[in-house]
Amino acid sequence: MRLIYAFGQLPEGIKSATFGFFLLFYYNQVLGLSGSMAGIAVFIALCLDALSDPVVGSWSDFTRSRWGRRHPFMYWSAIPFAASFYFLFVPPDGLSEFGLFMWLLVFAALTRTAMTFYSVPYMALGAELTNNYDERTLLAALRTVFNLLGMFIVLIGGNMVFFGATPEYANGQLNPDAYFPFALTCVPIMVLGIWAAAAGTHGQIPHLEQPQGVRQQLLRGVAEDVVTAFRIPAFVAVVSGSIMFSICQGMVQALHLYLATYFFELSSSQITFLFAGAITGIVLGSLSSRLMAALIPEKRDLFIAGTAWYALWTSSVIMLRLLDVLPGNEHPLIAPLYITTGCISALGLGVAIPLIGSMIADITDEHERQHGRRQEGIYYSAGSLVAKVVGGAGPVLAGFIIDLARIAPGAAPGDVDPASIERFGWATGPSVLLLSTISIACIWFYDISRQRHAEIIAQIEGRRT
């Protein structure tokens, strides 16, 4: 059951990799939309989507049906999500720049919102399946692994099958004809992942929590639930830390192809190895997160260690290259060095990412201790709302960095002005360090330790008996 539940993270991995690594690049470098306009469109879509998060979370908390609280949302969201994703990559020919902006805005918003109707109930379901401190970390780690499998399909399979070099396009990501078959291939995999997770956990419905109380006014109740959630200090700490973490990740993902293509001048095949190394690092980090807990038993401390590791390895290779400590891109060791450090830095991400969901799951127990009812959906959705609205600044920041660097759309890597490359690097490398440091400072105030969680569970069990 663990694996089939975690398999449901596959569609999120496909969407995340596509939005994070290809979407901005496609609309900017391939279709010609300015980097700042593309970043703003993605940000507005994110904000529109964020508004739906607490509504869906509270709605699923109080849903009564023969399929339980979460499963109806999971089943019915698959087709709208996949269809919106497909249309995002097939804009009509001849659109003006404003037309491209609106197409990106509308279908990015629809894709994200449809995904919310699946992902919020899906994440809430994970907190219901177990209340064990370490088991939740394991479930979160397995979700991360399948999330990375979805990213692997996009970044490795996509590069090999759709974005390979051609006589016209030495860099396959610049080929406009590659994006339609790429999107069409992703659609059935997304639908399969959602329906498999819903069907695979369907048998658990009789054993899950039932709605407690009746929601009279949805929107007013949502607002009250969100306010209640943010009265728990640990939740404020997790949300604040994950916001800065999301800004950093959103920026780095949006700029990853630019770093590989223009800053380090990797070939298409080398970019494939870069993505493969990064995914391998995150998988290994995720799988080792529960083992690492034996060395660093508190989730907060383990998150800090993983984030610091990632920030130092990611920024150092960029800044050392700018300071001429490393040789130029023509040196045969530069590409292998960048690919290797990408894999090493990703180990930290693999450790840190699962812990956010695991910490929120523990906070839902504190909510039950204080208020006497289970509301997993509102916590995952409230955290998602704030993280999306504020964390969505990552792609916007990336768009402004691109415009600041003045890398012309469709430019060949060797033809870009060295001053543009230098501006790009100095804007990117230190930003990773700064954002990660703020994330660590925020998460420091998370106060649900292993011992405190055991006390919370004991109080809940005592009340139930």
Q: What is the pLDDT along the chain (465 residues), one digit of tens a residue?
A: 678 888 888 898 898 888 877 888 889 888 888 878 888 888 888 878 777 777 787 777 777 788 888 888 989 999 999 999 999 999 988 888 899 999 999 999 999 899 989 988 888 887 777 777 677 777 777 887 888 788 888 878 887 888 877 778 777 778 888 888 999 999 999 999 999 988 888 777 777 776 665 555 555 666 777 777 788 899 889 888 888 888 888 788 778 878 888 888 888 788 888 888 888 888 888 878 777 877 888 999 999 999 999 999 999 889 998 888 888 888 888 889 999 998 999 999 888 888 888 888 888 888 888 877 777 766 766 666 655 655 566 767 777 887 887 777 666 777 777 888 888 888 888 889 999 999 999 999 998 988 998 898 888 888 766
The crossing angle, in degrees rounded to 10, of helices 133-152 and 334-371 is 140
Which residue stretches of 153-267 are H helix? 158-161, 179-200, 218-229, 233-258
Please give the pLDDT value at position 133.
67
And the tokens for 270?
A: 């080398």
Please give the pLDDT value at position 43.
81
3-state DSSP helix/strand/coil % of the chain, to nearest 5 = 80, 0, 20
And the tokens for 337?
A: 């060095």
Residue 197 and residue 10: Cα distance in Å, rounded?
A: 10
Residue 319 and residue 344: Cα distance in Å, rounded?
A: 17
Residue type at 234?
A
What kind of fold does domain 2-208+218-464 have according to CATH? Growth Hormone; Chain: A; (1.20.1250)
Neighbours of 8 (CB within 10 A): 26
Please give the pLDDT value at position 78.
93
Residue-wise over 110-119: b if at least 16 C-beta within 10 A, else e? bbbbbbbbbb
Of the candidates 79, 85, 73, 71, which has an alpha carbon nearest to the alpha carbon of residue 16?
A: 85
Q: How many CA atoms lie within 13 A of 293 on its CB side?
A: 20
Please give the pLDDT value at position 42.
83
Residue 103 and residue 92: Cα distance in Å, rounded?
A: 9
Q: How many residues does the chain have?
A: 465
Please give the pLDDT value at position 388.
60
Please give the pLDDT value at position 385.
63
